Amino acid sequence: MHPTHFENLKVAFENQLYDLDNIDQVINIVGRSDQIELAAMSRQFRISFTLTDAKSVKSEVELSASLKELANELLGLDGGFGCDLFVHFYKEIAHIDRQCEQINNVLQEIWEPSLPIEQVLRFTYDIKKAEKQSYLNQTTIRFNRKLNERHMNDIPQLLAYVMKSLRELDQI
């Protein structure tokens, strides 16, 4: 049986990112997760990394496919199959209004303006550090189309955008 679009894209992302880590040494891979959700029979792959020379921001590439998408592909049915792609950026910030706007502006310049950008802030309250509170900003870029094997050639350019985003976000 032929591997699914999910499997082939996952391997393509892994190959590119591990080359950037092990051969080019421009990133450090700091996490990896490959999950099958048995209750919903879906797949999710996540790989996270930082730039070797800019560690204040972490990026995570997430690829996912639902049961319907996997079944349509395996059964050769017409319709929606492929994978969803998300790119997440994580950065500690202290000045919410200013830094969130800067993050949004930087990412709007680098990525397609039509791509939705969502920022979620998290913090852990510590009474001893209440005046010096920092927030974890998770910024997510969601791609509006399903990815499949026809998008393999887009991966190097997409990762170049991620690297540029990491460099720019590190300056905020």
Residue 1 has pLDDT above 60, yes or no: no
pLDDT digits (tens, 9 = 90+) for 94-142: 999 999 999 999 999 999 888 999 999 998 777 666 667 889 999 999 9
pLDDT digits (tens, 9 = 90+) for 48-75: 999 999 889 999 999 998 877 776 666 6
pLDDT at 68: 75
pLDDT at 37: 83
Q: Could you state, in order of their start, the residue ranges of all structural domains in the chain?
A: 5-170
* pTM metric for this prediction: 0.90
pLDDT at 71: 65
Q: Report the share of the chain in percent with pLDDT over 70.
A: 88
Name which of 81-90, 128-137, 140-149 the model is least confident about.
128-137
pLDDT at 171: 96
Residue 87 has pLDDT above 60, yes or no: yes
CB 153 within 8 A of CB 127: no
* Confidence tier at 85 by pLDDT (50, 70, 90): very high
pLDDT at 73: 67
C-alpha to C-alpha distance for 121 and 107, rounded to whole angstroms:
17
Two tokens at 143? 């791609």
